[in-house]
């Protein structure tokens, strides 16, 4: 059974996602945010592609979250800073989330049989959920504005490494081999170089370095978010 990486999201995804498990990654932003929100008690996160769509769904006690160019949208309650989310009351809340890259990747992967939300924060739990579904796995890196992002690629390598430990018969492709090797190498050396990625430098410029340290923690939350028609919710574990 195959485990593949899509290195970034452009206009369309060329890989056929039907009958597959897709794990969406947007490490420094959307997917670390979603994992944190659900781990801290939010009932669901509704991902939307546009700001007007987010505003239309507001009200009923919902929290509006999102960014454009990594900055909070006017009138919204939150940006998509995962570390800032920790200090916000979330218990049983619903969040509406729109971001530049992550929520678009989620929308483009809707043909997948199962769509899971991955990050370093829930690496082992999400990998285990994916492996237990017994389908080929596609790891979808959101990337940044149609280009490859280092942190998403290295996290994809972490997911490949973890899935292969759980099920050694998975077959990875050449990009997966490179991503896995770079993950193993950086795990030995520490994550500092990841902060020099294009996305990392942008976040440091905005004074949000806490987000980077926060998002690079492995296995902080033993949960798996799954995308459903009603939004993103906690997957029931077996």
The secondary structure of 131-175 as a DSSP string is: HHTTS-EEEEE--BTTB--HHHHHHHHHHHHHHHHH-TT-EE-HH
Distance of closest approach, residue 199 Cβ to a second copy, in angstroms = 8
Nearer to a second copy, 167 or 198 (CB): 198
138 and 68 in contact (C-beta within 8 Å)?
no
Distance of closest approach, residue 153 Cβ to a second copy, in angstroms = 5
Binding site for a second copy (CB under 8 A): 7, 147-150, 153-154, 173-175, 177-179, 181-182, 184-186, 193, 196-199
Nearer to a second copy, 66 or 118 (CB): 118
Distance of closest approach, residue 142 Cβ to a second copy, in angstroms = 13
Nearer to a second copy, 82 or 153 (CB): 153
Q: What are phi and psi of 227, to 5 degrees?
A: -85, 125
Distance of closest approach, residue 160 Cβ to a second copy, in angstroms = 13
Nearer to a second copy, 6 or 84 (CB): 6
Alpha carbon 138 to its chain's center: 13
Q: How far apart are CA 225 and CA 83, in angstroms?
A: 18
């Amino acid at each position: 059974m195959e485990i593949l990486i899509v290195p970034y999201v452009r206009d369309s995804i060329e890989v056929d996602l039907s009958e597959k498990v897709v794990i969406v990654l947007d490490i420094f932003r959307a997917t670390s945010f979603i994992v944190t929100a659900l781990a801290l008690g939010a009932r669901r996160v509704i991902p939307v592609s546009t700001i007007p769509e987010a505003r239309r769904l507001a009200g009923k006690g919902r929290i509006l979250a999102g960014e454009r160019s990594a900055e909070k949208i006017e009138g919204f309650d939150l940006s998509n800073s995962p570390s800032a989310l920790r200090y916000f009351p979330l218990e049983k809340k619903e969040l509406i989330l729109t971001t530049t890259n992550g929520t678009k990747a989620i929308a483009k992967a809707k043909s997948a049989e199962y769509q899971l939300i991955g990050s370093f924060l829930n690496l082992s739990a999400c990998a285990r959920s994916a492996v237990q579904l017994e389908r080929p796995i596609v790891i979808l890196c959101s990337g940044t504005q149609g280009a490859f992002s280092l942190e998403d690629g290295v996290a994809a390598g972490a997911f490949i490494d973890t899935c292969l430990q759980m099920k050694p018969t998975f077959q990875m492709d050449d990009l997966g081999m490179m991503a896995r090797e770079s993950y193993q190498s950086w795990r030995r050396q520490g994550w500092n170089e990841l902060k020099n990625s294009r996305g990392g430098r942008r976040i440091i410029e905005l004074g949000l370095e806490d987000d980077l340290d926060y998002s690079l923690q492995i296995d902080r939350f033993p949960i798996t978010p799954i995308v459903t028609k009603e939004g993103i919710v906690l997957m029931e574990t077996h």
